[in-house]
Structures are given as structure tokens and as C-alpha cells.
Amino acid sequence: MRYYQQHFEDSLKSGVKIMSSVIDHYLHKMTEDDKTFFQALGRQIANLRKEHNMTQGHLAEHLGISQQHMASLEKGIRKVPASMLPALAQLFGVSVDELIGLKDTVAKRGPMPKLQRQIEQVALLPKAKQKFVSEMLDTVIQQTAH
């Protein structure tokens, strides 16, 4: 009787492993678009990781995954979970849109890009010079309002 019980348990375990493998295959199967997207995302993550002088192991530890799992994400073999994107973006100091490769889709008109660049440059100036520029802008705006 013990032999049959052991045989039954072994067969059951084998069947569960096979079903698990089949389910895993279909759950993680990627379309060509998925492959392209996750490979590009993986390259972006790898580039940002290297820019921040991090190893795969260090990044993996930060995310709570194994180094092997991190390597497969960077290669685009595995899908990066959506829940991981905010943590990666915050760690690397980028937006999630930048992380996943979205371009700025807001329609820009007129001199806005130049003005935006100037504002960013002013933000880098010492506080005293920022105040001076701000006061000049206030004066110009007040003059054109009248």
C-alpha cells in the first residue's frame, strides 16, 4: 500500500510541475511589441544603473530581487513589473515617462522651449542673481500689463 501511495504522490507532484510550467509559459509569453518594449526598458535601466555607478547586485538588493532576476530584466527576457517603475524612477531621479522612453508629447508653440531653457538656467544661478532676474521680470510684466 505504501508503494502505491508514494507513486500517487510522485505522479501528483509531477503533474503539478508540468501544469505550473505550462501556466508560467503562457503567463510570461511576450508579443513582439512586448519584447521590443522590455528590451528597450532593460537597456534604459542598465544605462541609468551604470550612470549611478551601481552594480546589478546592488540594484537588485535595493529592489528586493536576485541579481539573476535583475540581469534578465535588463536583457528584456523578463517583464519589468509596473509596480517597480516608480521605485526605479525615484532611485535614478527621472520620471516614469522618461524611464519607459516616452517622449514629451505636449505640443509646444512659439518661443516656449527657449524660455523654458532660460528658466532652467536661471534656477542654477546664485540666489542673489535669481532675485535680480525675478525683479526684472516683474518690472517687465508690470509695464506690459498697463
Spell out the domain ranges in the chain: 31-99, 112-145
83 phi and psi, to 5 degrees? -65, -15
> What is the rounded (10 degree) CA torsion for 63, 72, 20, 33?
110
Using DSSP's 3-state secondary structure scheme, residue 113 falls into helix
Q: What per-residue confidence (pLDDT) applies to 11?
A: 60
**In CATH, which superfamily holds the domain spanning 31-99?**
lambda repressor-like DNA-binding domains (1.10.260.40)
Q: Between the CA of residue 80 and those of 28, 58, 135, what are the distances in Å?
A: 11, 17, 47
Looking at every residue in the chain, the average pLDDT score rounds to 81
Extract the residue ranges of the chain whose pLDDT is less than 50: 27, 107-108
Q: What per-residue confidence (pLDDT) applies to 48?
A: 93
Q: What per-residue confidence (pLDDT) applies to 38?
A: 92
Cell of 143: 509695464
Amino acid in position 18: I
Q: Read off the pTM.
A: 0.54
